[in-house]
Amino acid sequence: MKKVVVTREVFDETIEYLSQRFDVTSNQDDRKLSDRELALMLTDAIGVQTASSDRVDQRFLDLCPRAKIIANTAVGYNNIDIPECTKRGVMVTNTPGVLDDSVADFAVGLMIAASRRMGEGERFVREGRWESVYLKQMLGKDVCGATLGLLGFGRIGKVIAQRVAGFNMKVLYHTRNKAPESVEAELRATYVSKEELLRTSDFVVLILPYSKETHHYIGETELGLMKGSSILVNVARGGIVDDDALIKALRDGKIFAAGLDVFEGEPKLKDEFSTLNNVVLTPHIGSASETTRKAMAMTAAMNLSVALYEGNPPPNILNPEVLSA
């Protein structure tokens, strides 16, 4: 049977599905593998199911020279050198669509948690410092009736716009390609420039892909445009925000608060974040509902199966030019 490798722990049903079609080598212990262990695992593999924590670069691809497909268990793929994969004739796939609802829900949750100081309040209670209820204790900002600015208006951005209709929010968005008027009307969303969105939004939510063009898309200049009462939420990718500039803005009160699920250099993050009360920090769990993560793992496995077992183009291929080559 053809050999495929699963580099990180997935669900039992995913392994069972793959084992019916392939000789599967998997890292179900979810250990950080040494270079030697990784090399032994990848030898002779014709397909690899990766996680967003795997860096698929020249070195990785050298360890699996027979690989025909890298199936990433994530919608984002900035962990993969796609041009290098394409040069070697290796297909790359991702898992779009299955996590839209979960990430949208999580983004709204971070909006509420950051604006209503939930993280700060939870720590206050746990530390035994709560003695009474005061009229001006931990005053936050309302979500209802506020203006939401979405930087990025793809599938997840549109679902967020649907969610906040119940909060009677005004929705602004900025993206490279303006949405059709019918979509704008349905979601009651208005296209504006990036600068206008930053200046006028009470909540700025980042939901755009990471690339060279979006590196530090939000930095000192952009944070300086935002209102002092505004909240920044990032459920996209680390590196889109200049974390040093954000820490300074939060510390100096240039913006009210932030909710962050992603960071530059994660899982490590700047120590200063832990000293700030006006930021909610979560460990990249925007898609981490059981249902969604199972669907992501199975979607990646099905991409492998379609390409290698059925011999057909996988449905979520990111570099289709490989097929013609």
Quick one: 49 and 106 in the same domain? no
Quick one: 223 and 244 in the same domain? yes
Q: Which residue has the tokens 């939000």?
A: 218
- Tell me: pLDDT of 325 over 80: no
Q: What is the largest CA-CA distance in the chain?
A: 70
Interval 98-103 mean pLDDT: 97
What's the pLDDT score for residue 33? 87
What's the pLDDT score for residue 196? 98
Q: What's the pTM?
A: 0.94
**Domain count of the fold of the chain:** 2
Could you tell me if 262 and 143 are in contact, meaning their C-beta atoms sit under 8 angstroms apart? Answer: no
Least confident range of 22-36, 116-130, 292-306: 22-36
Q: Catalytic residues, which ones?
A: 237, 266, 284
Domain region containing 124: 100-281
**Distance spanning both ends of the chain, measured CA to CA:** 25
The confidence band for 34, taking pLDDT boundaries of 50, 70 and 90, is confident
Alpha helices in the chain (DSSP H): 12-19, 35-42, 58-63, 82-87, 100-115, 118-126, 155-163, 181-187, 194-200, 220-225, 243-251, 290-304, 321-324
User: Mind listing the pLDDT tens digit for each residue in 257-286?
Assistant: 999 999 999 999 999 999 999 999 999 999
Quick one: 187 and 260 in the same domain? yes
Q: From the centroid of its chain, how far is CA 9?
A: 19
What's the pLDDT score for residue 297? 98
Closest CA to 189 of 168, 163, 164, 170: 170
Single-letter residue type at 89: G
What's the pLDDT score for residue 324? 85
Closest CA to 104 of 75, 80, 146: 75
Q: What is the DSSP string of 80-101?
A: B-HHHHHHTT-EEE---STTHH
Interval 144-169 mean pLDDT: 98
Quick one: 132 and 223 in the same domain? yes
Quick one: 104 and 167 in the same domain? yes
Structure tokens at 199: 């200046």
Quick one: 58 and 91 in the same domain? yes
Quick one: 54 and 141 in the same domain? no
Quick one: 84 and 179 in the same domain? no
Quick one: 41 and 114 in the same domain? no
Closest CA to 301 of 2, 19, 1: 19
**Residue 85's domain is classified under what CATH number?**
3.40.50.720
What's the pLDDT score for residue 35? 83
Could you tell me if 7 and 28 are in contact, meaning their C-beta atoms sit under 8 angstroms apart? Answer: no
Classify residue 196 as exposed, middle or buried by CB count within 10 Å of its CB (0-12, 13-18, 19+).
Answer: middle
Quick one: 270 and 295 in the same domain? no
Quick one: 223 and 112 in the same domain? yes
Single-letter residue type at 318: L
Quick one: 297 and 217 in the same domain? no
What's the pLDDT score for residue 69? 98
CA–CA separation, 135 vs 211, rounded Å?
46
- Count each helix (H run) and each strand (E run) in the chain, helices first: 13, 12
What's the pLDDT score for residue 32? 85
Interval 71-90 mean pLDDT: 96
CA–CA separation, 150 vs 192, rounded Å?
10
Percent of the chain with pLDDT over 90: 95
